[in-house]
Amino acid sequence: MESKKLLLGVAVIALGFTSCKDEKAEQAEKSVDSYVMYVDSVGNVAAEDARGNWQGIEATYELKSGEAEAAIANMKDNAAAQERLDASRAKYEALKAKYEAEKVAEQPTTDVTISSKQQLRNALFGQGKIGDDMNFSWVNKDNIHSVYQQFIHTAENNKDSYTREDWDEIKLMYEALDSRKNTVEKEGLSSEDNRKIAALKFKFAPMLKVNRMGAKSGEMKRAKE
């Protein structure tokens, strides 16, 4: 009888422990869902309204991002949740870069060439991240994957609007980022992030080549006409 009671007690404890784990996993999923839905909702906001209220959007984003990151850190199998988180983060960063570029474009400038180049850099990397000094020291093992994501997704989303000069600049920036990656790899870049970056580069490299050649051919054709 005592043995039966002991086994029953162990079973109840185990059931309670499993229920607790399931509850934590469910709560983590809800946090990720909330984060993903928020980013999607930002994408549906009218551009003018988003730019006008970006400070509030950014504050809410940071809060939800922090909650989602903390939640999945406690998940045993969080690979799928992390993928969703990374995809939404890249989407948000691309939106942020777009609004920042539009804000810069609205400001008066006396040098159209420099302004155009800086606008492109702002869109690819973030406002003011890369200037004429071409300093990539801010890119490290913890953020380099998201930097590649923003760069490549931004270029893909705007490929039809880029000129030959834009593609030349994109190629230059891409090669500079790759050079920084070689340094970051020696500083402890995780194998997982390295694989994700390799997948992004595998997809982007041929697109860069084709679109750059297409832009040059189109420009030559128009010049002849």
Asked if 151 and 124 touch (Cβ cutoff 8 Å), the reply is yes
Virtual CA dihedral for 87, 166, 112, 109, nearest 10 degrees? 10
* pLDDT value at residue 225: 52
Claim: this prediction has a pTM higher than 0.75 = no
14-23, 155-164, 177-186: range with lowest mean pLDDT: 14-23
> What does R_g of the chain's alpha carbons equal in angstroms?
23
User: What is the residue extent of each domain of the chain?
Assistant: 1-96, 108-225
Kindly report which listed range (5-19, 136-150, 202-216) carries the lowest average pLDDT score. 5-19
Looking at residue 181, its pLDDT comes to: 94
Average pLDDT of the chain to the nearest whole number? 80
Which helix (H) or strand (E) covers residue 111, if one does? Answer: none
CA distances from 141 to 77, 145, 191, 222 (A): 23, 8, 11, 44
Q: Are 181 and 200 in contact (CB under 8 A)?
A: no
- pLDDT for position 108: 56
Average pLDDT over residues 146-164: 92
